[in-house]
Each structure stands twice: as structure tokens, then as C-alpha cells.
Amino acid sequence: MKDIYIADLANFDEGKLFDGFFLVLAKQQRLTKSNKPYLNLILGDKTGQLEGRVWEPADPRIAKEFDRGDIVKARGSASKFDDRLQMKVDQLRLAQPGEVEKSDLLPSTTYDVAQMWRQLLSFVESIANPDLKLLLATILNDPQFAEPYREAPAAKQLHHAWLGGLLEHVVSLCTLADRVAPHYPLLDRDLLMTGVILHDIGKIRELSWGTGFEYTIEGMLLGHIQIGAALAEKTIDSLPNFPAKLKTLVLHMVLSHHGKLEFGSPKLPMIPEALVLNFLDDLDAKMQAVAGEFEKSAREGKGPNELTNKVWALDNRQLLNTKRWLGEP
Amino acid sequence: MKDIYIADLANFDEGKLFDGFFLVLAKQQRLTKSNKPYLNLILGDKTGQLEGRVWEPADPRIAKEFDRGDIVKARGSASKFDDRLQMKVDQLRLAQPGEVEKSDLLPSTTYDVAQMWRQLLSFVESIANPDLKLLLATILNDPQFAEPYREAPAAKQLHHAWLGGLLEHVVSLCTLADRVAPHYPLLDRDLLMTGVILHDIGKIRELSWGTGFEYTIEGMLLGHIQIGAALAEKTIDSLPNFPAKLKTLVLHMVLSHHGKLEFGSPKLPMIPEALVLNFLDDLDAKMQAVAGEFEKSAREGKGPNELTNKVWALDNRQLLNTKRWLGEP
Amino acid sequence: MKDIYIADLANFDEGKLFDGFFLVLAKQQRLTKSNKPYLNLILGDKTGQLEGRVWEPADPRIAKEFDRGDIVKARGSASKFDDRLQMKVDQLRLAQPGEVEKSDLLPSTTYDVAQMWRQLLSFVESIANPDLKLLLATILNDPQFAEPYREAPAAKQLHHAWLGGLLEHVVSLCTLADRVAPHYPLLDRDLLMTGVILHDIGKIRELSWGTGFEYTIEGMLLGHIQIGAALAEKTIDSLPNFPAKLKTLVLHMVLSHHGKLEFGSPKLPMIPEALVLNFLDDLDAKMQAVAGEFEKSAREGKGPNELTNKVWALDNRQLLNTKRWLGEP
Amino acid sequence: MKDIYIADLANFDEGKLFDGFFLVLAKQQRLTKSNKPYLNLILGDKTGQLEGRVWEPADPRIAKEFDRGDIVKARGSASKFDDRLQMKVDQLRLAQPGEVEKSDLLPSTTYDVAQMWRQLLSFVESIANPDLKLLLATILNDPQFAEPYREAPAAKQLHHAWLGGLLEHVVSLCTLADRVAPHYPLLDRDLLMTGVILHDIGKIRELSWGTGFEYTIEGMLLGHIQIGAALAEKTIDSLPNFPAKLKTLVLHMVLSHHGKLEFGSPKLPMIPEALVLNFLDDLDAKMQAVAGEFEKSAREGKGPNELTNKVWALDNRQLLNTKRWLGEP
Amino acid sequence: MKDIYIADLANFDEGKLFDGFFLVLAKQQRLTKSNKPYLNLILGDKTGQLEGRVWEPADPRIAKEFDRGDIVKARGSASKFDDRLQMKVDQLRLAQPGEVEKSDLLPSTTYDVAQMWRQLLSFVESIANPDLKLLLATILNDPQFAEPYREAPAAKQLHHAWLGGLLEHVVSLCTLADRVAPHYPLLDRDLLMTGVILHDIGKIRELSWGTGFEYTIEGMLLGHIQIGAALAEKTIDSLPNFPAKLKTLVLHMVLSHHGKLEFGSPKLPMIPEALVLNFLDDLDAKMQAVAGEFEKSAREGKGPNELTNKVWALDNRQLLNTKRWLGEP
Amino acid sequence: MKDIYIADLANFDEGKLFDGFFLVLAKQQRLTKSNKPYLNLILGDKTGQLEGRVWEPADPRIAKEFDRGDIVKARGSASKFDDRLQMKVDQLRLAQPGEVEKSDLLPSTTYDVAQMWRQLLSFVESIANPDLKLLLATILNDPQFAEPYREAPAAKQLHHAWLGGLLEHVVSLCTLADRVAPHYPLLDRDLLMTGVILHDIGKIRELSWGTGFEYTIEGMLLGHIQIGAALAEKTIDSLPNFPAKLKTLVLHMVLSHHGKLEFGSPKLPMIPEALVLNFLDDLDAKMQAVAGEFEKSAREGKGPNELTNKVWALDNRQLLNTKRWLGEP
């Protein structure tokens, strides 16, 4: 486990020495005004990022061979420049395998992954339709899908942008759909739950999360909607006697879950289950974004009478934390 | 009670005589090609509308004094013209007071109004915040608000466009909000429920439903959002010591519930409760529109493999009834 | 072969008897004002549609058993009503198998299908990349794809909405792409031609053309873009060692060919070949629409100084036929 | 009165000492690269803002207790950094009450407030309809409204963003409406003038102008349109026998004066007076923005052949000062 | 002068014979259900249009040679069909030259053209800048421009769509600009008045008004903005020493007067005079549309509590006639 | 010829002295923190721009009299600051006439201008219609048009933004149109080629390229579409007997070539030739932008697996270089 996290440095004494493990997110060679070469680094861990400066790259205590994507151990001191934290790096070496958990270096869900996975499987268990249940079980029991499903973030940024974020988002959505489904008798609950569990599965290939969260080229050119639909279709085609109508419906739910053509869904929701999936997905993503903004405001020291910053995911609206404003617990 | 409804006539023998009570929705004097005057009527009851033709307006069996908005008893026979049903009216007189229920002549909720009202009051009862509870109780105990609240349609057309539709929509929304609220701990449930119960209250003055559903001039020029906010504000100002912050939040929920400026909300939702209100209101209206379309498709004799007509309230999408297509019960 | 086509009737003597084969596009039972039942039909052939009226459905010369989708032989006379042609049907019987070609009853390409198919195959032959060539050959040699590819219309309406329209559009586009590709050295011609040949292949399942041109339910819920991408992906996965990068590029071209999210492409063109495919596809469709409008104007007797009607596919613009206006040949 | 204003510093000798009174708009503690703490201030007066640096915050000549919103007297010298003026602060103390006018520290109208107020009252005097005249007199004679009406800016930024700006904008609009009204006989001049005088009155609560121009939370959540309509409604309801129709019309004018839903009006103008109010309000705001831009260009030393910068309030257009370009007086 | 106008027929006894002069707007030969040929005409005069039916085209009292664009005298009787007035024509002959004024047959301004022309010239007279005054005088004294300027409608439909409408609109706009200009000292009044007088001059070639109001092909392909700018440029180039800067400004005003690219102006207003021209032009057109709608509502017998129909030129808004609703004179 | 270009400096030793000729794009006097005046320059040549700092402006080796737009010879050394290259200038003097080519100081086409001009003339030669050929020959033989036509950039930035860019773009478009025209028999090739050659001719006055690429005031207020149409119209009017219809068509092509009102065309393409011109113009501009981005990515050292930066001219899309990704030559 790491001893010190980037988020801790905000309250750290300037100039005091510390050690830490970091993921190297960027590395550039530059020159000072007096033409001396130095290294400019972006270092990250699960709590944030900071800029690092190696003023003496030739110092024997600075590793010569390291690059973007490597995990390093660095020693130095912090200072502020234009309100941004900066680290002056005195020593730096590659981390040994096992010295630090990857989950310490990328932002990660605060929930227990194993428990969320059990919740997900119990939702699958609750499905009555045998074809849909078999489809989901086939996918979730296949390690090539299950493993990244447990790890993937739900987004590069915006909402649930952390390791385990995809699973966290889907489990939240399952719970929500489970509450809403009985309210509308015309809904086929099994189909809705299937849509919830599969709608974002393409993200396991759209994104990469080894060293920071990035889009893959496949992800950029095809998108998680198409990747997810293809993945579902391939699994369905491998099952004996999966009903053709059900296949069309499952694929339609994956395709239409963004709800609008301009959000990248090639089809609008045309069945009640797809309509509800789109609403709940959107609501859950936005509520998570709201919660994240409120936490950020608190972290930044905003008072209860202050609105959040403008939130990109909510049309640049500013939000007010009702409970805090009213002084509620 | 009425004996025969307009919806029944579709399967009625053409030419066979029948009696019925109708609301006169329009009345025009016209001339035949041979210059004989006749009356053209639009007659309505709670199941629909049909055109009526009085070819002999001078016949003593035809009342001379009746107008738009009157309830009449008419005798005649039906026939189809260009797929639209038409009634040839042989006799017509004004209905006696008490001969027929107004609720038979305008479309009306299929739920029990008294029971829905009790449900609504029990949701008020469930509110912990004493100021909000008092506000709601004050409004719902005031007959000048409570009576039209029980009667009003939720819209002129589109969704819940029937007597009692407003109450039906709000009770459905209370139930739904009650299910969703616990899922998001940052929500102030009391405030959300207050917003649900008050958001559309301006419709009691925006619409008139005496003879068909119409907008009032006040409704056209001010809109139910402004009327509702003013009504809430006036009641709040009559209560002693209602907290100013809470007043701002309640008014904000009414103002922002359409969710977008272009839908007539002068403010976007800026608190989590307003965000959720907007989502659930929109979802409930759309799901009711979907259910209504599926019923209409069945009534029109469409098969399970046919999509509905284009639905205006859903961006002119056509919808597929999943359960029916799959042959589910 | 049919003797008389609907388009011929415009100049036919009103009231004169004629025989013809027609596809029944709609059939409804109605009542006259005097309550006599009659049949209202929509009859079609490859040149157009007309309304048919059977005033004496009980006449023994009128077949009792026929329905939407059947081919019938009818005798009667034509007249105009409100500028629309109408046929009074005196006799009507089901057509015998072989009496008439289906291609006479639905609008059909004016080009030779066999020859267009050979052109298409020669474009495949011109591709140097062995993987792409094998992919195309595999699809075009598979009767389950090749047969509908030769038959399908390119659209339900708008452009190339006739049997063979898909093939005609693709061959035109191949020729055009072949002219344009050498102008831009950065284009990979093989990839561009592959995109041209596969971009609309999903239409073979999105549309049905047995009795009129309709969308299938699969087509409505998934769309030809997704169907086509899935079809390409499945074929690619069946080929040994098809390069993964090439697969991503081929699928991207199919997905992005509509060029805008709001036109149903889930991804915008992000490679030069996809950009060019989108431009040429759009240009070819619009030029065909222009040509069709000019023919329609001529058919309707418009003079060279008159603009066409408003063209839906061109933002409701009206167009001027330059050559005709200038009196050029 | 202040001796030196921020706008004067542009032409001031760099490094020369000066004194000044300033409003503290922001205050932050920071560290130099060598880890020495310093203070970073934003100082403002009615002519602009500048950054201030206190390099020796421990110096006894620097007050220890001052904060955002305080008025201070500071001594120091100016220099340019990246084209922005910066003040090196050597001494700083809190201002004594009465040492400086608040109107010197926030931008303020250049017109005489008392005279504008008399003009406004004379427009009220010119209204013939006794109900409307009484409504306006009641509001303008109530110090709780009249006082902030005389002080408020018309906006946080964009147009008339200075103390007295609301009054200046309304008086300009009264004069303009007075010129335009006789041109259209169908206009009810009294109603139009009432709309002009009340349309922006909600800004007295939407904005705060004690220390810089800010939105209040009430202003953010409700907006000046709703606040103004509520204020008008409450006053109307306090008057005996104010006609109901007139109330609806007055409220409609306030609600609709932004002219478009997407600009925050919940209703479009539906009466001629509201239509004209929206046009003139928009025109006056834009013409003021144009005048302001021309002044800014002159201040920045632009020549007569140069366009202004892009103007946000005018769709990022650049404007040309016609008279100056033509060399007219 | 005509004795009877189409607008009078609404209150005319059905079946009673009358004579009238009409412009033939359309002429079609058709067949009755019993295959008898008849003529269907659209007849117009300055008050409206009606459909005419010649059931006996072979009758010697019916002229054989007449066509679209001819003026005819017709005798017959009126009746209503589906609420539209229809004329049964018994006799019809070509009108003699001089029997009727063209201004009786097309809608025409209700103002005195000669007097409006004098007003226009006096506005030119009020211009101080000699170059602009010479430009305007040159154009308005040239019969090739002046004559159509006095006759042209301002639009095919929408606003001022009648003979003399262009002049009426420009004179109204001159008066309005004359009132507004002094309110903004930064405006160059001469330039503004020049823009007002020239902005729509291209309409004299964009429209034709010989027989109904139509677009010319030149008008469709180039538009009145380009035609007007070219006309102004050509005249300017014919004047000695017209300043180049002034030319650019005059052309800019013509080009930008629609105010938005999507309304067909290739440039947005970038000088204050162009901004004001766009506002006043838009306001005047809309106020005329409002006045026209109010007249139409009165003609159609709508009561003071009824809104107008939806007005296309005002985003399909419905409008309320304030004065009439309030019972004002 | 210049010895060293700005683009070369990226790989130049920091601190080593060099000489170069540069265009002065901006010149500002500033103060150091210690209040010493220095000069800040933007220097450009055909390969890019860099910031220059003259720390000792009083040094006799620094010219006193030079300004924006001058060509200078400067000696100094380069260093990097925040990844941007900066030049420390030790000596600076005005260049002698003839010392350096203007084409070395502004970005310039890489093609041979004389040869492109011959290509253009041969396209004119290929036109059969004598009126169109005479029109083009008249313009291209007039030095007042021909000279700037050979020099002008096609844009201020975006595509073909270099000297000779207009000619390069037009010649590319001629070649492309020549390939496409035969594919659509309804096209009038002569008219299309005329439109291609004239569509952007207004740019010779819309832009100035003496010292950097700028819009002229005429260009800002009128735009190249209007300037080009006026230029074409004036030339046409100077030719004897140029057919009126052909004039309308030529002007329509210039006016409509941007294809959309919101892109500044006052008319949409309404003839097939204008439609094709708009498509090919757009395609060619975009393909040039793509090629430019690919070169930029290579220059910036991006690998074959990296997408380009977001491209403004392509809706902020990122692009993938297909051939490079596939490892093709």
C-alpha cells in the first residue's frame, strides 16, 4: 500500500521531503532558460495527478530508463505554482513488481468489487426467461468478458470514471430498474434487466485502463454501442435456439440506450423497455455526476451557500446542494 | 348512465336507430348543394366524437335552442363516410338535469377518484418536514384548489387527457418517486414529494374542462408553470414562518420541472430533487403515452407484428408492444 | 408481360373498358351513403398506383377470396376524381401463376441486372488487397446474400426506390469512386471500394419488397447500418487470418457512411476513405433524386421555365433543369 | 473622492509610487518558488480591476485583518506582466468609513440618478389608465423597491452592468417606446409603458451589488422574470379592484419579455405590446453593447480602420464604427 | 369599378345570380363521375379567391378562348361546399380593355400611392450627405426602377403582400427610422435612411405581379438581396466619385438586412445602422402581420375572447387583440 | 533565398547563433519585472512563426525604425519556453530590397504557379460554350484579376491558407470536376467548369496577403461570395450579347457554392451544376485539411497508432491515417 497520496499533499508542508509510488502519465525533456535540460513529468495515483520536475536528470539517483506507463518510486518535495501543486523530484527509480497495487495508482471504486459482482449475479438469477438468463450467464461466466467487466471504468471522464466504475454503475442501475419495473405492468422485467446488464458491455473494449483511461482505436472507430451489440450477437449466435425475436430486442436495447441519434445511438428506443433503460441510465449517470460535484465542492472548500462549478455533463449548469444549504444532516 | 357510447357504434349496424346523450362540441349551419339549410354538429361523449347531420332542422322533433356546450339527447342512425363515422340525427332535445352524468360525456379516469385522493393525502402524511407538510395540507384542504385538483385533466391532449388525469398522473408519480428516492441518499425526500404534488397544480387554471378540454386565456398567456408557482407562493406567504430557503426551493421545483428552457421552464433544474422530478415526470408521461398508444393500436385492430402509428409525444417514433410481439400474457 | 400500365391511363379515354394485372396494395370494405357495401382497393404496378372501386362486390364476376399482397386481373374503366385517377372495377379474379412477372408489378430498375452484377464483380476483381477481395467474393458468392442484393431496392422511397435499386446505386457509386480515388493519393482505393460495395448491404434485411416496399421489424429496430456491420463482421470472423485492423476499418466504413450522428451513423467518418464514401454516397443519392424529379416534372407536363416541386430529399428545395431551360439537347 | 483610478494606471510611469482606494474582490495566500508566502489580491474600482501582489505580508505596514468585500487604501507601484497591469503593494490598511464613496469603487452610471428617477416618474404620470398608473406609483413609491431600483445594475456583465444601469436602461427604453408607440395605432400605450417599467424589476433581487456584481441564490434558482412577475402580482393583489384581465396582461409582459423560450421566457409574446417590448428591449441592450464596445476599442487604442473585438452579446460578431471610419464628427 | 367583390359573397344569398369581373388564376378541364367534361376555375379579385365551376363548357354563353392570366366577366350563383365558397358559372366572356382596373383584381394597398411616393421623396430630401442623396435620387428618378417600386408587393405572401405593399412598407419604415434614429447618437441617420429605402429594392425583379404574385426564376436563383445589391452597385458605379467606403457600407446594409445567415443574409449586420435596419424591418413586418391577423379574425367572426389562428410569420403563435379584449375603442 | 527557416530551428542547438530574414508580424514594447523596457516581436517566415525578444533595444546593432509588416534580418539564438520556441535577438536591421523573396516569408504553395496557371487556361480552353469561354478568358486575361488570382491564399486559415492556395484549390477542383462530370449526363459541363473557376474569385479582394493573411474591411462587410458575384456580373455586363439566362446561372453558382444558408450562401444550390460544385468544393477542402493534419501529426512526431488532434474544419473530429496505420507505403 502507498503511504502518501497526491490528494494528501494539498495539506502537506511545502518543502518537506516525502516518498511515493506513482504512475508516469507523461514524460518530456525540456530546457531551462539557461539552456539546461530537465525532465517534466505528469505523475498520477488513484487520488489525482501532479506535475513533477527533475532538475538534475543526470543525477545517479535518477533512473535513466523509465517511460510513460511505468510505475516509479520518487522522493522529493512539493510546492505550489499558480495554484497547481508541483513536485521537485530528487530521487526516482522503477518500482519493483509487487511493491504497490495497481488499484492504488488509478482511481478506483470505493465499493467492494466481489460483493458487487455477487449482486450482479443475483440479478441474473432473478430473471425468469431461460434464454435471457442463459445469455447473461454465458457472458458473465466467460473470463474474457467477466474479468474486464469487473475492472473497467464506465467512462474516460464524466461519470463513474474509475476502476470498477462500469460494475458500480450497472449494479446501481439494476437496483434502480428493479424498483421501477413493477410500477409499469406493460414492462417485460426480464428484458429490461438484460438490457441494463449488457448496455455498456462494449466499454470493456472501447476503453483501456492500464495506464490512465484512454480510448482504444477500435473504441474510437466503432464505439461501445457497436462493440457491445456485436459481442451480444456473437454470444447469442453461439447459443442453441435463442429466439430470433428476442435477439432483435436485446440488440435493439444495446443500440438505442443513448436515447438520441445525436448521442450516438443509431436507433431511438422503440420498445418500452428500451425507453425505460435510456431514462434510468441517464438519470443514474447524472445523479452520480451530481454527487461527484458535491464532493468536489466540499474538497475545494466551498461553503454551503455556494453553487458548484459549471458541470459539463449537465449542460454547464451550476448546482446547489439542497441538504447542505438547508443545514440538514 | 348512458346506454350507448360512441365507441360502441363502430360495430353497430349501419342504419339501425339508436338514442344517446351527447355533449355538443360544435354546431354550424350550412347549405346543401341544392341550397337547403342543414346543421352540422360535433357530438362527443367520454369514448370519442362523431359528426352529426341534422338534415331537417325545421322538424318539430329537433330542438331550436341549443348550442356548443349543451348536453342533448339525440336519436338517429350511423353510417360511415370516408372511414369516419357520421350520425344522421332525426330527433334532438336538451337533456334534463340529472338525466346523465357529466363524467359520461367527457373522457374520464378509469381509477377511483376518492381512493386516489386518499392515496395522495397519505403521501402528504408521510412527509416529515412540518413546513412542507403544512403547505401541502393547506392547499389540499382548501376546496378552491382541492375540487379542481380532483377533476382536472393533466393535458389538453397527449398524456392523461381526461377528467381526473391530473390526480392520476400525480399519484402515479408519488408512487414512483417513493420507490426511487431511497436509491439516492443525497435526495431530500420531503422536498421531492412536495415538488411532485405541486408541480402541475397550475393546470387547474390553465385548462378548462366544462365542455371539452381547452386552454383558458390566462393559461395561454401565463402557463401552468407560472400559475402554479404563484399559487404556491401565495399560500406560502400566508403561512407563518415558512423558511425563506424552503420557499425558494419549492418554487424552483415548480419552475424547472419541464427540464429545458425550450419546453417552457424558465430555469433548468439546479438541485438534485428538481433533476429527479423532471426525469420521473417525463418518464411517467411518456409511459402513459406508450400505454395509450398500445391500447389504441389494439382498438384499431392492429396485429402483434405491427408497430403503432407515429407518436407525436415521442418524436414521431413508432413503437412495438414487446409483450404482445413475443406472445406473452 | 402486362398490356396496359397505370401510367398509361393518364391519357386513356375516360369510360373506355380495359384489362390489367395489378398488385393489391390495400383492400377495405366500406358503405355508400345509402348504406350499400362496396370495396375500396389500392392497386399498383411498376408504373404507379390507382384507387379501385368495386361497387358490386357480390357480383359473381368479382372474386371473393383475395387480399393485400395478391396479384389480380381486373377489368373496368377509369375516371378522374379531384385530379386523382380512379378505376371502376367490373370484373376481378386472382392471377394464375406465370401469367405476369412480379417485375411488372413493382417499380424496377431500367438497367440490366445481370450486366450490373458483372460490373460489380469486375470491381471486386480490381481490388489488390487479398483479404478484402476474399471478403467481398465470399459475400457476393453466397446466394443468401447475392440473391437479395440483386433484387433489393435502395430505399422505401426517396432515391433508387425500385427493384434492383440497391445494385444500381452501388454500381454507380463504384464507377464514381473509381474516378475520384486516383485524385487523392492518400486514399487506400481497395478499402474505399470495399466500403462502397458493403455500405448498404444491410438493406437486404432492413427492407422487404414482396408486396410493396416496407421496413421489416428487424429493420425498424436495428437499421441497415447495424445489420450490415453485423453481416460483414460475421463473414470476416469466418475467414482465416483476416487482419484485425482491416476488420475495424471495414466496420467503421459501414457504421459511419451516413456521415452524421443525426442521420443514424453512430460514428462520424474518421478515416479518409470513410469521408470520401460519405460524400460520394450522398452525392449519388442526391443526383439520382434530381434526375428523378426532372423526369417527374416532364411527365407532369411542366414547361422548361418551371421549377420542380419541392424535393423532400433536398431540404424541400425546388430545382431548375439547366439544360432544358437553356434549350440544350 | 478617489485620486487615482485603475484606468489611469495604463498611462502611469512604471515603478512610480501611488496611493488608492480599492474594493478587495479576491484574496489568496500563495507561495513563491522559494517557498515564501505572499498575498495575491484582485483589487477593483469603478474603472476596472488589477492584480495586486503583497510580497511581504508580515510587514507591519500591511493590515492583517481584511477580506473579500472590504474597502482598503493601498500604496505601491504598477508594472506590466504579459500585458496585464499588476500592482506591487507596499502598504495597505482598511479604509475609514466616509473616506471613499462606494460609487467610486464599482462601475456606476454616468447619468444623474435623481434626474433619471424624475424622468421615470414623469413617464408614470403620462399613463392614462388609472389602474396601471396606481400599480406603478405603488411600486415606485415603496422604498423597499424604489431604493434598489435606483441602485441596481441591469446585468452582471454584458449590457448596463453598472450601478444605476437598471434605471438607465429603463429610462432609455421609456423614451424609445414613447417614440415608437404612436407609430402603431393598435398598441395600448399605457400597457406598453407599464411593461417597460416593470419588465426587469426582478433584477433588484436577482443580483447583489454590494461587493462586485453577483447573482443571489434566489436569483440563480428563480430568475428575475419569475421574481419580477411575483413582485408585480403581489402588489396588484394588494390593490382594490385591479381588473383581472389587466393583471394577466401585465404579468404576461413581464414573463414574455425575453422573446424566446430558450432565452428564459416561459411564454412567447402573444399580444402586440409584448412583441414591441421584446423588440425594443433587445434593440436597446444591443445598442448599448455596441456603444460600449466602441468606447472600449477607443480606450484600447484601436484605429478607425479596425473592427472591435468579437462581441459575445452579438453572436461574436466584430463591429465597425461607421462614423469613425468615415471620419465623421 | 367592380360592383361585387369576392369578400362580399360570404353574406350573399346562396343561389342568387350576380355578375363580376375576375382574374383567372387557374383553369382545368375535368370530368364528372358520369364522364361529362366541365371546367374548374380559380377566380380572384383584390378581396380574395373562389372556385368556379362551369358545368356546361359548350354553352355558347361561355367563352371558348380564355386562359390563366385573363380578366373575365362572369355571371352565376354562389354556394358553400365544405365551408368554401364556390361559384356556379352560367355565362363568361373576356373583359374589354378599360372595363375594369387591374388594381381591382389584385389585392392593393389601401393608401394613396402618389402621396406615399411624395413622402418617400421627402425622406430623400431630408438626407444631408450629398453622395447618398444623389444615389437615391438617381434610382428613384429612373422610371425603370421607380415604376415597379410604386407597384410591387413586398412579398408573395406573409406581410404587405399586395400591390403597393413594397412602397407602403418602406414609407412606414422611413417614418419609424426617423423616430428612432435621434435616440442613438452614434447612428449615421443618412446611412440608415439610405438602407431603409434600398433594402428591398431587389423585390422589383424577384417578384412578378402581373397575374397573381409569383417569384421570377431570376428571383428564385438569386434572391432580392443579391439583385438589390447589384442594382445599387451598378448605380453607384455610374456616379462620379462616389466614395468607396460609402459604397461598401450601402451594400453591406442591403446584404445584411435579414439579420441572420439562415434568413438568407450572407453577412450579419456589422455596423450600428445595419443592426437598427434589421430590427426595424423585422418589427414593422411583424406588426403588419399582427394587424392583418386581427383584421382576419374580425372578418371570420371571432369574438374578443378568442385568439387568432396560428400565425406562420410569428413562429405559429396565436395572438390576442389586447384592446378588443379589454373592450377599448 | 533564406538560409535558415523557422521550422529548422526545432532541431537546432539551443544557444547557437544564427541569422535569418523574417516578416515582422507584431511588435510590442514591454517592461521586465525590474522595469527595464524590451521589445516583444512575432517573427514569421513561410514555415511558421516564433516569438522574438530584444532585451537591449537601445543597442546600436538594433534598428530603431521598423514596424509590423517590415522584412528584417535578425541575428540571435533560440531557446524553448513552455514548449514554444523563442528567439533572443542580438542584432536586427531592415532587409534591403531584393535580399529576400516575399514567397520565402509567407507560406506558399509547393506547386509551380506558372504550370498551374497553364492548367487552368487549358481547362478554359476545353469549354465549348463560346459565351462562357469568353467570360473566363476576359477575366483571366485581365491583369487586375489574373495577378492576385495567382497569388491569393484560399483562406485565412483552415484549408489552402498559403500564397497560391486559391489557384491550387481551383486547379485541383477543375481536375476533380472533369473526372466527375461525365458520370452524370444531366450536367452541363461547361457551366460546372465555369462555376469551379469563378466560385472563389471574390477572395482576391476579401483577403489581403501582404503581411500575413488578413480580411480586408470590404471582405468582412461584403464577403467573397458577394464580391465574386459582383465581379462576374460586371464582366458579363461588359460583354456584348451575353445571354441573360446564362448570366443568372453563373451568378447562382457563385452565390450558392457554400451550400447552406448558415455557411453564408444566400441561396441554396437549385441547379444540378451548383449542387455538384458545392459537393466537390467541400470534399476538396476537407481532403486538403486531412492531408494537412496528417503532415502536421508526422511533424509533431506522432506514431502511426495515434489519431490526429481534433480538426476544427471537420467538426473537431480526430482522424486516423489509414495507410500509415496499416503500414502501407
What is the complex's ipTM, to 2 decimals?
0.85
For residue C286, pLDDT beyond 90: yes
Residue-level pLDDT at B48: 77
Sign of the C-alpha dihedral computed for residues B16, B21, B25 and B27 taken in this order: positive
**Residue D7, pLDDT above cutoff 80:** no
Write the CB contacts of D281 (distance below 8 Å, at least 6 apart in sequence). D173, D196, D199, D257
Length of chain B counted residue by residue:
329
User: In whole angstroms, what is the distance from residue C6 CA to residue C18 CA?
Assistant: 11
8 A C-beta contact, residue F293 and residue F311: yes
F86-98 CB burial, b ≥16 within 10 A, e <16: bbebbbbeebeee
Phi–psi pair at F59, nearest 5 degrees = -55, 130
The residues, ordered by sequence, that sit 6+ positions from D19 with a Cβ below 8 Å of its Cβ are D3, D4, D73, D74, D75
pLDDT at residue number B81: 60
Cβ distance of C220 and B307 shorter than 8 Å: yes
Amino acid at residue number F212: G
Strands of chain D (E only): list them.
Answer: 17-31, 37-45, 48-54, 71-81, 84-94, 207-208, 214-215
Contact assignment for A266 to C217 by CB distance below 8 Å: no
Please name the residue that has the C-alpha cell 468544393. F281
Q: What is the mean pLDDT of residues D159-179?
A: 91
Q: Is B184 on the interface with C (CB under 8 A)?
A: no
Instruction: State residue E199's pLDDT score.
Output: 98
Closest to E5 measured CA to CA, from E16, E18, E24: E18
Q: What is the sign, positive or negative, of the torsion defined by CA atoms of B111, B115, B121, B127?
A: negative
Q: Is the pLDDT of residue D279 over 70?
A: yes
Beta strands C84-94; C48-54: pairing state: parallel
Helices (runs of H) and strands (runs of E) counted in chain B: 10, 7
Rounded Cα distance between E323 and A222, Å, is: 61
CB contact under 8 A, A80 and D220: no
- Angle subtended by helix axes B113-125 and B130-140, to nearest 10: 160
**Which candidate, D183, D171, D187, D182, places its Cα nearest to that of D274?**
D187
Indicate which of C9, C81, C86 best probes the interface with E, i.e. most E CBs within 10 Å of its own CB: C81
Report how far residue E22's alpha carbon sits from residue E43's, in angstroms, rounded to the nearest whole number.
6
pLDDT of residue B98: 81
Per-residue pLDDT, B107: 83
At A63-80, the pLDDT tens digits run: 988 887 788 999 998 876
Q: Are D148 and D92 in contact (CB under 8 A)?
A: no
Chains linked to A by 3 or more Cβ pairs within 8 Å: B, C, D, F
Do A79 and D35 count as a contact with CB atoms less than 8 A apart? yes
State CA F238 to chain mean position distance.
Answer: 30
Model confidence at F33: pLDDT above 60: no
Residue E300, C-alpha cell as written in the block? 371570420
Q: Is C244 on the interface with F (CB under 8 A)?
A: no
Residue F318 and residue A30: Cβ atoms within 8 Å?
A: no
Give the tens place of pLDDT for each residue, A114-161: 999 999 999 999 999 999 999 999 999 999 999 999 999 888 865 677
For residue D35, pLDDT beyond 70: no
**Surface of F (80-139) touching A: CB under 8 A:** 80-81, 83
In angstroms, the Cα distances linking D37 to A314, B248, D29, D32, D57 are 38, 42, 7, 6, 8
Mutation pick from E222, E224, E233, E271 vs chain F, by most beta carbons of F within 10 Å, is E222
Q: Which amino acid is at C316?
A: N
How many residues are there in chain D? 329
Closest residue, chain B, to D251 (C-alpha): B222
A213, A153 in Cβ contact below 8 A?
Answer: yes
Q: Is the pLDDT score of F247 beyond 70?
A: yes
Say whether D217 and A320 touch across the interface (CB within 8 A). Answer: yes
Name the H helices within E152-269: 165-180, 189-198, 203-206, 217-238, 244-256
Segments in chain A below pLDDT 70: 1-2, 10-14, 31-35, 80-84, 157-159
Strand partners, D320: none
HSE-CB for C36 with a 13 A CA cutoff? 8
CB–CB contact C14 E30 (8 Å): no
- Residues in chain A, how many? 329
Cell of B316: 414521431
DSSP letter, residue A299: H
Higher local confidence (pLDDT), E205 or B86: E205
C-alpha neighbours within 13 Å on the C-beta side of residue C209: 29
The x, y and z cell numbers of residue D201, run together, are 424589476
Q: Do A267 and C233 touch (CB under 8 A)?
A: no
Chain D contacts of F33, Cβ < 8 Å? 79, 81
The number of C-beta contacts closer than 8 angstroms across C and E is 19
Read off the C-alpha cell for A290: 451530481
- Is residue C295 pLDDT above 70, yes or no? yes
* pLDDT reported for residue B68: 78
Q: Which chain E positions have a beta carbon within 8 Å of F221's beta carbon?
A: 248-249, 251-252, 267, 270-271
pLDDT, position B163? 87
Q: Which segment, C94-103, D33-42, F147-156, F230-239, is predicted with the most confidence on average? A: F230-239
- In chain A, residues with a C-beta closer than 8 Å to the C-beta of D221 are 320
Average pLDDT over residues F162-170: 92
**Res. F118 pLDDT band, cuts 50 70 90:** very high
pLDDT at site A5:
82
Average pLDDT, chain B: 89
Look at residue E6 and give its three-state secondary structure: helix
CA–CA distance, E189 with C254 (Å, rounded to integer): 59
Q: Using an 8 Å CB-CB cutoff, list chain F residues near C188.
A: 322-323, 326, 328
The winner for highest mean pLDDT among B226-240, D40-54, D145-159 is B226-240
**Which residues from chain B sit within 8 angstroms of residue A315, using beta carbons?**
268
The answer to whether residue D30 scores a pLDDT higher than 60 is yes
Query: Tell me: the pLDDT tens digits for C150-198?
Result: 999 888 765 677 889 999 999 999 999 999 999 999 999 999 999 999 9
Neighbours of chain B (3+ CB pairs under 8 A): A, C, D, E
**pLDDT under 50: residue ranges of chain E:** 1
CB proximity C235 to A under 8 Å: no
Do A224 and A203 form a contact (C-beta atoms < 8 A)?
A: yes
DSSP bridge pairs for F108: F163
Q: Answer whether D220's CB lies under 8 Å from D228's CB.
A: no
Nearest to B169 by CA among B130, B134, B120: B120
Provide the CA F276 distance to its chain's centre, in angstroms: 23
Where are any strands of DSSP class E within chain F?
17-31, 37-45, 48-54, 71-81, 84-94, 207-208, 214-215
* Short-list D123, D138, D132, CA closest to D171: D123
Using a CB-CB cut-off of 8 Å, the residues of chain C touching A234 are 237
Chain A residues closer than 8 Å to B322 by CB: 188, 191, 249, 271-273
Distance from CA of E81 to the nearest CA of C (A): 14
D217·A15 Cβ contact <8 A: no
The CA distance from C264 to C199, in Å, is 13
Cβ distance D30 to A318 less than 8 Å, yes or no, reads no
Q: Which residue has the cell 352529426?
A: B52
Contact, C153 vs C254, CB < 8 A?
A: no
Region C229-235: mean pLDDT is: 97
Give the dihedral sign, CA A108/A111/A114/A117.
Answer: negative
Give the list of residues 6+ apart from residue E202 with CB closer than 8 angstroms, or none: E223, E224, E225, E226, E227, E228, E229, E230, E231, E254
In angstroms, how far is the first alpha carbon of chain B from the final one?
Answer: 33
> What cell numbers appear for E11 in the block?
353574406
| Chain C interface includes F290 (CB < 8 A) | yes
Average pLDDT over residues C112-116: 95
Best to test chain D binding among B191, B215, B222, B271 (most D CBs inside 10 Å): B222
**Dist. CA A169–CA A200, nearest whole Å:** 10
